Structure 1
Amino acid sequence: MTKPSSTRGYLIAFVATVIWSSTGIFIGYLTTRFHMPPLVLAFWRDLIVAGVLFGVLALVARPLLHLGRRHVLFFVLYGFVLSVSHALWTVSVALNGAAVATVLVHSSPVFTALVGWRWLDERLDALKIGAVVLSIVGCVFVSGAYDRAAWQANPAGIVIGLANGVVFAAYSLLGKGSSRRGVNPWTATLYSFTLGAAFLLLVQRPDTFLWLSRPLAVGPGGWHEAALGWGILVLLAIGPTLGGYGLYTVSLTHLPTITANLIATLEPVLTTGLAFCLLGERLTIPQLLGGSLVVIGVVLLCFDERAASVADGTPQSP
């Protein structure tokens, strides 16, 4: 079986992905019910995460607020990459629709595997390559992106979606780099989101900055609508975003980048399951097939880790 640290990493990455999978439900509600502009949503999402995490750490783990000077430039880059990832994701959804945007962002394991193998000395063997292929094909079936109509005449959207996959791979690799620098994952999450919010602030417009407060202009009756909108946004920030990204960063201290990234490809499978359970959406045969392929890909990773442990002669957990 896998080493204890790897087993813990698998569990943490899986829990992170489960939490992440509810993100689309919250974002979909905000963009359809309140017509919230994507970049405004991305900014407030990051800012609320940073504020809540700062408050929690200040109360229960004050030493984690400290970031050494030697890490500052690294985290400026880390925060910038996070801001670009969130911006590209929201624009990709707007241009491509959620299905195609999802499969494009989950092209990231390809880039993660290649960069991790080339520059981080991570193994890239036949099982891992097979897991990458199965996960990507599975995401295509789950999202419905195999339908040519979903890709119709939208080159700009496809380029932005693929760019988002590259940027998310970069985010994952920077998370691994942060771990290798000895930075606590919650400290890394705090400063990446703080700086990410700072970069997103630069592209905000005054007339849309307080978008969810606009119902207040119609009179006292607008308080309920504004409170609902801000409440959903806060839930999105402290639940799927803080929980998902925070635990994903923690998992990178236990797992190779490509392994954590591949486990994250379970997200569209879980999102589809949530939509079936909560929204009554029907699961199609291709979606069930795609979900099975992604799960098989993750199982291949377990065999890959086990084979690596045996080959290296590392201690096995019972």
Structure 2
Amino acid sequence: MKILAQPTEKPTAISSNGYLFALLSTVVWSSTGIFVSHLQTDYGMKAITVAFWRDFLAAFFLLIIIVCFSRVSLKQIFANALFSLFFGVVTAFFNYFWTTSIKLNGVSVSAVLTYCSPAFTALLSFIFLREHLKPIKVLYILVGILGAAMVSGAIYPSAWQSNAIGIGTGLLSGLFFSIYSIMGRLAANRGMNAFSSMFGSFFFAAIILLFLNIPDSESLFSLKNSLNGWMTLVLLVLGPTISGYGLYMLSLTMIPATIANLISTLEPFFTILLAYLLLAEKMTFIQWIGGAMIVLCVLLIQFTRDF
């Protein structure tokens, strides 16, 4: 899952490699839920524990990268400490709700629900950033929300009785991801580069999640001496969390942001495919229709923004 680039970014040169990097970043990102599900199912890790270690290790590795290759990012972090704190709060809650949604709803449904965030983002941007909201975009948002309801099962009264927490958690993950996206845009407007904004958000998110883990501190080290478990955590961070974003940013130097964002809409479908092949998860016909409506909503919102 990524913060989509703004269409003002321009590539230095159009290159076919840019399409490859954008596609690779999408495939790599789509494996995030698989890693999280594996840690929760096979190693018994709690959602909040997975969220903490992901944020903590991401901040740790990003700090190494910053110290070695991007010292200017350190100045940006200190200059925007308060902003990064708020960014971290949003990141902490998003990661918690998303990992919980994977536990309750499965990887496929959680990925699709999170992808309805552009609809929430458009609404929040209208409310808080005073961005213009065209009537046609309101229609697109309603299509996305209806699609989310179909994917989550919220259109069925019985689903609210059996999985109300799962539905609520899934929708909250989409809402907080939309806030996360807006915070990413605000970070760029403040002159923060990708390294500084990511490190700040992960660092403060890890601190917040650490405190939330205190009531059940033993679960923090539930992996104990499981080498495979710790390696899975490290792969989650170095793979989807950091490398996925790096590939995406690299693609933006070769192709327009509009095209890179368009390619990224394939992410939920790659996630569904991986979940089917590796976890034997299946979606119903209604959920597929809802998922298609969400992707259509994303494409239409992107189209109206760019053109």
Q: Please state which band the TM-score falls in when normalised by the shorter chain.
A: 0.7 to 0.9
Report the alpha carbon displacement of residue 164 of structure 1 after superposing the two structures with TM.
Answer: 3.3
Report the alpha carbon displacement of residue 4 of structure 1 after superposing the two structures with TM.
Answer: 6.5
Report the alpha carbon displacement of residue 172 of structure 1 after superposing the two structures with TM.
Answer: 1.5
The reply to whether residue 235 of structure 1 matches residue 246 of structure 2 is no
In structure 2, the CA distance between the partners of 1:244 and 1:82, relative to structure 1 (3 Å rule), is: farther
Aligned equivalents of 1:248 and 1:164: distance in 2?
Answer: 22
Aligned equivalents of 1:171 and 1:265: distance in 2?
Answer: 18
Partner residue, 2:63: 54
Where 2:220 maps in the other structure, the secondary structure is: coil
Q: 2:221 aligns with which of 210, 214, 217?
A: 210
TM-score (norm 1): 0.73
Report the alpha carbon displacement of residue 299 of structure 1 after superposing the two structures with TM.
Answer: 3.6
Where 1:66 maps in the other structure, the secondary structure is: helix
Partner residue, 1:19: 28
Percent identical across equivalent pairs? 38
Aligned equivalents of 2:138 and 2:26: distance in 1?
Answer: 21
Aligned equivalents of 1:123 and 1:248: distance in 2?
Answer: 28
In structure 2, the CA distance between the partners of 1:206 and 1:287, relative to structure 1 (3 Å rule), is: closer
Partner residue, 1:271: 271
Partner residue, 1:67: 76
In structure 2, the CA distance between the partners of 1:155 and 1:264, relative to structure 1 (3 Å rule), is: farther
Check the 8 A contact 2:109/2:151 in 1, yes or no: no
Aligned equivalents of 1:154 and 1:142: distance in 2?
Answer: 13
In structure 2, the CA distance between the partners of 1:38 and 1:117, relative to structure 1 (3 Å rule), is: same
C-alpha RMSD over aligned residues: 3.9
After superposition, the C-alpha distances for 1:260-296 in whole angstroms (9 at most, x for unaligned) are 7x99775433311223455565565445434443443
Q: Which amino acid aligns with 1:35?
A: G
Partner residue, 1:33: 42
Report the alpha carbon displacement of residue 93 of structure 1 after superposing the two structures with TM.
Answer: 3.9
Return the index of the structure with the highest Cα Rg.
1
Where 2:218 maps in the other structure, the secondary structure is: coil
The reply to whether residue 180 of structure 1 matches residue 189 of structure 2 is yes
Aligned equivalents of 1:125 and 1:249: distance in 2?
Answer: 30
In structure 2, the CA distance between the partners of 1:131 and 1:239, relative to structure 1 (3 Å rule), is: farther
Q: Which amino acid aligns with 2:236?
A: L
After superposition, the C-alpha distances for 1:81-121 in whole angstroms (9 at most, x for unaligned) are 11122122233444555566556544533432122123324
Runs of 4+ in 1 over 6 A off after TM superposition: 10-15, 246-252, 262-265
Aligned equivalents of 2:88 and 2:293: distance in 1?
Answer: 33
The reply to whether residue 133 of structure 1 matches residue 142 of structure 2 is yes
Q: Which amino acid aligns with 2:117?
A: S
Q: Which amino acid aligns with 1:185?
A: A
Partner residue, 2:4: none
TM-score (norm 2): 0.75
Shifted more, 200-209 versus 228-237: the winner is: 200-209
Q: Which runs of 5+ in 2 are unaligned?
A: 1-6
Give the length in aligned residue pairs.
Answer: 290
In structure 2, the CA distance between the partners of 1:235 and 1:284, relative to structure 1 (3 Å rule), is: same
Partner residue, 1:122: 131
In structure 2, the CA distance between the partners of 1:249 and 1:85, relative to structure 1 (3 Å rule), is: farther
